Amino acid sequence: MELITNPQPLQWPTLLKRPIFDNAEIQQRVMPILQEVAKRGDEAIRHYTQLFDKVTLNAFQVSEEEMAEAQRLVPETLQQAIAQAKRNIELFHTAQYDAEKQIETMPDVICWRKSVGIEKVGLYIPGGTAPLFSTVLMLGVPAQIAGCQEIILCTPADQYGKVNPAILFTAHLVGIQKIYKIGGAQAIAAMAYGTATIPKVHKIFGPGNQYVTAAKQLVSQTGTAIDMPAGPSEVLIIADHTANAKFVAADLLSQAEHGTDSQVILLTTHAPLANAVNAEIARQLETLPRKSIAEKALENSKIIVLPDTETAMAMSNVYAPEHLILAVEDPDALGEKVINAGSVFLGHYTPESAGDYASGTNHTLPTNGYAKAYSGVSLDSFVRKITFQHISKQGLKNIGLTISTMAEAEQLRAHAAAVYVRLEE
């Protein structure tokens, strides 16, 4: 990894640039796929699945027999791990439920807010080189807690028309019954527009490659909501003299192995740590099955030596990382200064992979600097907040003059008249 020492704040934006891809070109490739699926439905889905995934599907939906087979193929130890992760995620997300609370803003004027699950949601689960069955938990669990009436899941099949059994096992555990063996931009189009086989949904969730991301962004412009803008995975670590170089290197590599377009950043106040981490990365790389992917990601990555943790935190807040690890002497104190981050990991024994799998927090997070304005997926992502109000006759007498005065001032006489006619009665 490139090593930089004490850069000036004016240099930070340049140093912290993410890998740049031609999004306009990708969207130009994706747009015809979306249009064809909207026009020809299942026929287009079948064509693009054959073209991109090299598999001809007679049926899109996973059968009961395939679900039963998956339950047999997943090792017991993995089943137990997935079940434990599910319990933790359920506990954390159930606690996010807001109890209905009525507020009397003035005598006999009562307002409240109610959470209602989004009726139809679509979950996209990548299934290529890294089949993300953990994402089934991260999306399926809060969708069920929120009370979404229809949950469908799309994930690509392999060349034999099979879906990764761990994905199917996890979907069954969560209670998702409608699972379709399609991936890529065509899956996003199917969920956005609906086909004879695949239901149209109101909101689409889930990570994916650049084509999936572009498809989500495009369908969001035509009436289908999405969880958030997304990009390649990333981590930023702030480490001081107390950090363990082996731990830090392992955390950097855990994100670098996601994809060649991932980015990892280390900000350290301890210059010797920088060299130690670089050496550990070289050593640990040799043991990774995804070595070539991680090596490519490291080309986009940097180690930056800074004078103190306050400066490092200021730089981190400029970057707004998806994942932020604070491997410092007093992580709780430094954590109070976090302004922009998707998810924060405090201390030397809190690896980012804990949040990816089983601690309970959600791993679907804003990337590419969007943590400055977006939150990660939570229970709130799957509900709408509907406001209610009830005003009695006396309550309208109490608030009527305020309403009518404001309406008259905005020259909206009918608004004022809606109060007048009631008060005259």
Tell whether 258 is in a known binding site.
yes
Q: What residue type is 242 in one-letter code? A: T
CB-based burial label for 81 (10 Å; 0-12, 13-18, 19+): middle
Are 156 and 183 spatial neighbours (Cβ–Cβ below 8 Å)? Answer: yes
The answer to whether the annotation marks 410 as part of a ligand binding site is yes
Instruction: Work out the end-to-end distance of the chain between its first and last CA atoms, rounded to an integer number of angstroms.
Output: 77
278 labeled part of a ligand binding site:
no
Q: 82 — phi, psi (to 5°)?
A: -65, -40
65 is catalytic: no
* Long-range CB contact pairs, 65-68, < 8 A, 24+: 66/162, 66/163, 66/168, 67/168, 67/172, 67/179
Answer yes or no: is 323 a known binding residue.
Answer: yes
Comparing CA positions, the residue from 189, 149, 107 lying closest to residue 397 is 107
Q: 111: Cβ–Cβ under 8 A, 6 or more apart, which residues?
A: 102, 103, 105, 387, 388, 389
Tell whether 210 is in a known binding site: no
Among 322, 352, 408, 425, the one annotated catalytic: 322
CA diameter of the chain: 83
Tell whether residue 160 is among the known ligand binding residues.
no
323 is catalytic: yes
Amino acid, single-letter form, for residue 288: L
Sequence-separated (6 or more) residues with CB below 8 Å from residue 68: none
Measured CA to CA, the distance from residue 130 to residue 142 in angstroms comes to 22
356 is an annotated ligand-binding site residue: yes
Marked catalytic residue, from 93, 323, 352, 363: 323
User: Residue 255, annotated ligand binder?
Assistant: yes
Which amino acids are annotated catalytic?
322-323
| Binding region for NAD(+) | 124, 186, 209
| Binding region for Zn(2+) | 255, 258, 356, 415
